[in-house]
């Protein structure tokens, strides 16, 4: 919670404001020495010295925090640029992969259609007897071959 509050305070104020606060703290610290010279203001000397020291330390701390915050913001911008470049490269690769998949699906459909046409053309000889002819075995073997054996990136022919 405290970190969130400091982060917003750093973002809301410009860098020179933190230096001005630190400078005011230095001035108050030295002014406290002058205040103690007058007897009527002597009780307030320690309070002013404490206030000056707190302002000096707080201003320097927040100025340093702004520097660190600027470094982090720069790193975030660089990381976002790398992510955008990777997304663009991924989109290119995805389109290539989609084209390969569409081509492979088309080849599989063409092979299935060719096998169906061959089966329909030789239906009478297949159904003529109860046993399967050599044509039926050949058609069955062609239909059961895996056209994409190996990997999805390489299409192998079925031997036609």
Question: Looking at the domain assignment, is residue 153 inside a domain?
Answer: no
In tens, the pLDDT along 124-158 reads 776 766 666 677 777 767 776 755 444 444 444 44
In tens, the pLDDT along 15-53 reads 888 899 999 999 999 999 888 888 888 888 889 999 999
Question: Looking at the domain assignment, is residue 80 inside a domain?
Answer: yes
Question: Looking at the domain assignment, is residue 157 inside a domain?
Answer: no
Question: Looking at the domain assignment, is residue 43 inside a domain?
Answer: yes
Structure token pair of residue 41: 């203001």
Question: Looking at the domain assignment, is residue 134 inside a domain?
Answer: yes
Question: What's the domain range around 114?
Answer: 2-144
pLDDT at 130: 60
pLDDT at 126: 67
pLDDT at 100: 92
Q: How many domains does the chain have?
A: 1
Question: Looking at the domain assignment, is residue 58 inside a domain?
Answer: yes
Question: Looking at the domain assignment, is residue 114 inside a domain?
Answer: yes
**Pick from 53-62, 63-72, 136-145: least confident:** 136-145
Among the listed residues 65, 63, 53, the one whose alpha carbon sits nearest the alpha carbon of residue 24? 53
Among the listed residues 19, 29, 33, 2, the one whose alpha carbon sits nearest the alpha carbon of residue 62? 19
pLDDT at 146: 57
Question: Looking at the domain assignment, is residue 156 inside a domain?
Answer: no
Residue 78 banded pLDDT, cuts 50, 70, 90: very high
Among the listed residues 142, 139, 147, the one whose alpha carbon sits nearest the alpha carbon of residue 119? 139
């Amino acid at each position: 919670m405290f970190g969130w509050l400091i982060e917003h305070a750093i973002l809301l104020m410009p860098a020179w404001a933190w230096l001005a606060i630190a400078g005011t703290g230095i001035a108050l610290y030295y002014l406290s020495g002058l205040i103690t010279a007058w007897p009527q203001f002597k009780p307030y000397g320690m309070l002013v010295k404490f206030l000056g020291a707190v302002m000096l330390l707080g201003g320097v701390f927040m100025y340093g925090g702004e520097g660190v915050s600027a470094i982090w913001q720069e790193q975030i911008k660089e990381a976002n640029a790398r992510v955008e470049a990777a997304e663009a490269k991924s989109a290119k690769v995805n389109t290539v992969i989609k084209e390969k998949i569409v081509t492979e699906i088309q080849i599989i459909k063409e092979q299935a259609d060719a096998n169906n046409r061959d089966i329909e053309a030789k239906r009478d000889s297949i159904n003529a007897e109860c046993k399967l002819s050599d044509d039926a075995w050949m058609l069955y073997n062609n239909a059961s071959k895996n056209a994409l054996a190996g990997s999805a990136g390489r299409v192998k022919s079925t031997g036609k």
